[in-house]
Amino acid sequence: MRTKPTLTWTPEGEPAPRTTDLAEVERVLSEGDVVVLSGAGLSTESGIPDYRGEEGSLRRHTPMTYQEFVTSEEGRRRYWARSHLGWRTIARARPNAGHRAVAALRAHGFVSGVITQNVDGLHQSAGTAPVIDLHGSLDRVVCLGCRRTSAREALDRRLRAANPSFAAATTRINPDGDVDLADEMVREFRLVSCVACGSGVLKPDVVFFGENVPRDRVERCYRTVDEGRALLVLGSSLTVMSGLRFVRHAARSGKPVLIVNKGQTRGDAHAQVRVDLPLGKALTELTGRLGCS
């Protein structure tokens, strides 16, 4: 069963109290075994915008849905043409101070596990391991026919060969790895099929809006939250249930939930503390306080 995409939510009631004081986050981290749940807000300082912030891509861009991708060749052509350009920017992105701080907190034992809603691989590039990629990763491609996975770099080479004159200047990248592109350029773009089975439809190995996260991955996330002592949310509005459910699960289990995010989140009611600070600054300060910078 596919779910209806949740792109926005409307806050109800009074906003939860917010602070710029990191003392409680520091205290909880100092006791160790904290699980991190990160969102797109952690990658904005690497040049990848979030969906719902002040400059969020949803203000100008509707992301691809699973239903459109699997039922429409035109939709797939539009996605791959835009993603072919956007992938180059994602591949060049580098971890920022927030990613490096999470890696340091993990290396020093303050963080016991990392779940990310991001598909950019920047946690891994910063040295964090292991990481649960809740929504998959843009550096892999899966065939919807034979289910074979392959490297995105290999597909990029094939798409370049199939579209030797395809190029466009772009300054806007979206969190899902595509860019804004004129319709006439999309129409000229040539798709390629799976090299293993010869005819299968290729899809980035990420969870599109309206697509379910694989059940075994969800269960792994629940186990990670259960094994931790607290949950720290970094840079996520928690609009979609795929991330919010872990916040609710932690709260029901009596675990402290701490949220560091610019702006209101759907999980604020479950948070023990809500810190409203830029993530790079906040996390760098925390690593310094905890002696792992």
The verdict on whether residue 51 carries a ligand-binding annotation is yes
228 annotated as ligand-binding: no
- Was 221 annotated as part of a binding site? no
Q: What is the CA radius of gyration of the chain?
A: 19
CA distance 96 to 222: 27
Q: Binding site annotation covers 31?
A: no
At residue 60, what is the residue type? R
DSSP 110: S
Q: How far apart are the C-alpha atoms of 35 and 251, rounded to whole Å? A: 13
Please check if 244 is assigned to a binding site. no
Q: Which of 108, 135, 249, 270 is catalytic?
A: 135
114-128: b (≥16 Cβ within 10 Å) or e: bbbbbbbbbbbebeb
The CA distance from 19 to 273, in Å, is 8
- What interhelical angle do 23-30 and 279-289 show, nearest 10? 50
Q: Is 236 annotated as a binding residue?
A: yes
Residue 210 annotated as binding site: no
Does 45 carry a binding-site annotation? yes
Q: Is 183 marked as binding a ligand? A: no
Q: Is 59 annotated as a binding residue?
A: yes
Is 57 labelled as part of a ligand binding site? Answer: yes
**Does 133 belong to an annotated binding site?**
no
Question: How does DSSP assign 219-278, residue by residue?
Answer: HHHHHHHHHSSEEEEES----SHHHHHHHHHHHHTT--EEEE-SS--TTGGG-SEEE-S-
135 counts as catalytic: yes
Non-local (6+) Cβ contacts of 56 within 8 A are: 49, 50
Q: Residues annotated as binding site for Zn(2+)?
A: 143, 146, 194, 197
Q: Residues annotated as binding site?
A: 39-59, 117-120, 143, 146, 194, 197, 235-237, 261-263, 279
Q: Residues annotated as binding site for NAD(+)?
A: 39-59, 117-120, 235-237, 261-263, 279
Residues annotated catalytic, as ranges: 135
